[in-house]
Each structure stands twice: as C-alpha cells, then as structure tokens.
Structure 1
Amino acid sequence: MSFGDRLKEARIMKGYTQKQLAEKLNIGGTTVTGYEKDNSEPSMNTISKIMEILDVDANFLFQDESYETTQKEKELSEKIKNLAKKYRDLDSFGRQTVDIVLDREITRVKELSNMKERMKELETSQATVIDIQPRLENNARLIEYHHSASAGTGVFILGSEGVDQLPIPDTPENRKVDYAIKVSGNSMEPDYYDGDIVLVSQKVELNHGDVGIFIINNNAYIKEYGETELISRNPEVDNITISEYDNIVCMGKVVGKYGE
C-alpha cells in the first residue's frame, strides 16, 4: 500500500470526508485528493497534523500495516500499561498470587500449544503411531493434577511442582472441576485420608463449612472453611487460626474425590 492508500484508509476509518479532513488541516480539499492519489506529498508539519487528527502513527502511514492492525497494537499497549500499573499497586502477597496464576496459565498454554503441534506432526507423518498415553473413554476429559496439599504442616503448591493430568468422567458435575490435588497428612480424616486425590472447582461458591484448598504464606492446605479459622476435621489435629499478618487465598472448593 502507498502513502495515499494508507491515508485514505485512516480517513475512512475515522469517518471523515476529504473535505472534512482538509478543513481540519486548514488546506484545500483538492490537496487531500492529491495526497490520496499520490500526486503530491504533504510537508512534515502536515504529516504531524494528519497523525494527530486520524489517530495513527508514522509506522502506519509509511509501512505496510493496516489501520486495524495498528489500532489493535495501540490497544494492547494500553492494556499492558494498565496491567503494569495495577501490578505495581499490589502488595507483596498480591504480586506473588498473580505470579503463581500467571506461571500456571503460561505452563498450561505452552502444554496446549505443544500438544497441538504434536497432533499436526502426527497427522502429516506417514510413520506408524504407537499410542503410549492412556486412552480416554469417549465420555472422559483431562484435568490438571498437582501432587500435594497438606492436611498437616503445609506444602508449597502451584508453581514449584510439575503438573500431571488425570482423566475424569465428562459429566455435568465434573465439568465444574478445574484440577485435582493429592492430600498429604491426616488432619482431615475421616473424610479425606493421606493419599486421597480430591477434585477442586474454582467455579463453585465456597461457604462456611465447605472444604477448600487454601494457600497460607505460600503453603497449601486442605481445610474446612470456618468463620474465624481453618478447621481440621480430625479432632486430634489443631485448627489453623489466621492472624492479621497472614497472607491467605482460596484456590477452590473440594467437590469430590478422584475415583469415586
């Protein structure tokens, strides 16, 4: 595209006629026509005014990029600036929570991308494919599986450990499940034993009396949500009292056990 083509595209996207643009530039209407037909070139001062009036930059006017692409890049840049400002306003715990979620999502997206690339390779390959992965039933789906949440002294989670995948039946109830995690310890017996794998949903509201996965000062616990503390269902194990100095975030409600 020529300079004239880009100028015309930007003018139309802004909803201006040649006459209206000429009035804003304080030049004759035929002059704008000449610019758009590449019969003449504007001065640097006029180019500066054009960029301001049509909300475009020199990169758009003089390189082969569409108006839509340029606008999307500007919008993305603004979003990044806003996110960066919000991040700076957080305290250390807030930033740490955002980092944990970002790390998990980046890992998930990378794994999904790698899976798609591998599928393309298999589709185009003429070699015999040997399926060494567990074959899912038609009514099954895969969820993330994290290795442990403490029913005792606390275990770090979501970011420091590897993530596996587990198949679960694709039922309406299980579609609310976001991930699975293994119980470590005995504080939630007899409801949840050491080694049990629980299913967790971040889509279901957690109320007092429900069991959830909580991160307290970077350690993950499976506990009952109490009004003033996190409750251990094993009467021989102390509850966790939350002080004003503790950082706590709920990572979802326990909605079932794997395999039941």
Structure 2
Amino acid sequence: MNILGNSIKEVRKSKKLTQKKLAELTGFKQNTISNHENGNRQLDEGDIRIYAQSLGVSPQYLFDLSKPSSVDFSAPTSSIQTIYDELTPPRQTKVLTYAEKQRDEQRNEEETKTNEVSEAIQLYSYDYYDHPASAGTGQYLNDVRVERIELPVDVDADFVIPINGDSMEPDYHDGDLVFIQTSVDLNDGVIGVFNYNGDAYIKQLFIDKEQAHLHSLNAAYKDMPITPETDFRIIGEVVDLYRG
C-alpha cells in the first residue's frame, strides 16, 4: 500500500495543495501525511478513501496512478516510454528493477560526495557559555556552566557566547556568536562584554575625562554611565563574530 504515497503526493501537488492544507481536509496530522507520502507509514483502506474524497478523485484513480504504466516520462525520454510500453509485464518489471537500482546507486554517490564535502570542512572547538550577552536589557553571566562548541572558523579567543537583542545593530545581530578574549583592561572605543550591575552586556566602551560609559551602536538605546557606585567589571574584548 505504500506505493500509493507517491500517487497522493502527485495529486496533491497537481491541485496546488500544501501538506498543511491537505491535513485540514483529511483530518490527519501534517507529519502523518508526510509519512504516508514518503512510504514511512502504512496506508489502510480507510486512509485511501479519506485521501481520495479530500482530493476529489476516486480510490481507483490513486491505484491506477501508482501503476508503472502511469509513470510520466518527460519529452527527452519519450523513447524509453515507447520501448517500455512494448514490453510484456515481466520484462517491464525487469526494466523498473534496473532503473531503481541505478537510481539508488546515484543517490548513494550523491550522499558520498556530500559527506566528503562535510568532512573537508575543518571545525574548531571553543568554550561556550550558553547564556547570551545582552545587546539590550542585560543578561546575567556569572556561574553559567561552560560547554564546548565547534565552529568552522579559527579565532584566537578564550570563549564564545551568543548575543541577545538589537542594541548593537547594524554590526551585531540577535543570535550572532561572538568570540571573546578575556581582559581586565580595554582601550577607549573597544567593543567588549561587560558585567554591569550583575548583568552581562556587549557594548562599546567610551572613556573620557568626565565619565566613562557603555555605548550602543543602535541609536535607539541610551548610553549606560559608569559611576563609582556602578558594579562594573570588564569580562573581555569582542575579537570576532560568527553568523551561521
């Protein structure tokens, strides 16, 4: 019965229906429809009747569409269809078996090439704190458990953390990963990660004669003054970013 999955998919696409829309028409879940179409879940007689009614065709139509003779060969391969039609059913089966073997070999070759490309990409391991530095309202960073992350870039950094918020746009976006070199002393104008009253922020440090402050690249955010009363600590300098 699984061969009917392609028939259902073919009719659904011909009627310009998404799996989501067909789910609404049949009452099946979308993942159930996907499994039926891909042959990962068995179809029973009741399922076939529901699909046929929802697609506006007869159950027999779905069966007929699944037969080898109903395969739609494109114009460049019309000669293949002609030869196929001239064969008796036993020989047609042999042709289909050979074609399926060639298809499977091609898929294996393509998968092997994909794996070879993936293996060629060198990955580098970093300490990773799965707790974002805020480009906005602040995030607490202390006592966060360190993990390991692998990325396809080689950066001289002590650890990596994600960014949360938009206060450092357009240079840094929500979800970016930033590479940090720990430091206790940063120069004027450097972008870093700072502990400000218990929360971790990614900001640009400005130091002038009157008062130092943390600056956001996004003009919608106000500067954060650093006063003698501020619980302030430099965590490190942002030396690079990764946007996957």
Normalised by the size of structure 1, how large is the TM-score? Answer: 0.42
Structure showing greater Rg? 2
Normalised by the size of structure 2, how large is the TM-score? Answer: 0.45
